[in-house]
Structure 1
Amino acid sequence: MAGSKTIIVLAPNFKRQSVKVSPNTTILQILEEVCKKQDLNPEEYDIKHHNHVLDPSTIVRFSGLPNNAQLEMITSKKIRQESAITLGLQLESGSRPMGDFLPSGW
């Protein structure tokens, strides 16, 4: 796979976990994969790089992480929760229907 990287994550139990990522992988996907392998809850943790907590929605391509980056899992100050989002569509007729949805369909 062209453009793939390996990221190394230090879990809270002091075990290192290697994760292969593509440029479109999100930080949250890395966190979820490590938590799945370490049997942890991903909602309770964040990932930091050089004492900077990374935004979970950022993709690897725009995060500035080098290949073989060393990341660390830390306990989250605030537990992530799913919440409803408001989605609006602008139609050609000029109308704009809106609705609230949970992002669980991904």
Structure 2
Amino acid sequence: MLSFPIMVPGTQYYRGMKARKRLMKTFREMIDGRRSGVLECCEDFLQSMLDRDSYPSNEKLSDSEIMDNLLTLIIAGQSTTAAAMMWCVKFLDENRDVQDRLWVIFHA
């Protein structure tokens, strides 16, 4: 995400754009599969966006909007999860009484 936008093989930007292309292809297959009934529908974020197909045209989401939303969730989820885990470990390291309470809860 933090790189110079130079499309030269071997650069971070190049690898990131290639990865984005692969993700978008996967998302496209998932969307097409769910709409055609080939893939099983489940109650998830993707399905909630696909359910908007029955809405008026000004409230529908285009496929590119759906795919961009999915990519945003993946990126946001990856960085926030890593940060949350780091802060939990730091907090637990500094608070022995909390460690002891968690030990009791999980080993009861």
Q: Larger radius of gyration, structure 1 or 2?
A: 2
Q: Which has the higher contact order (CA 8 A, sep 6+)?
A: 1
* Structure with more strand by fraction: 1
Please report the TM-score for the alignment, with normalisation by the length of structure 1: 0.22
Q: Structure 1 or 2: larger helix share?
A: 2
Query: TM-score, normalized by length of structure 2?
Result: 0.22
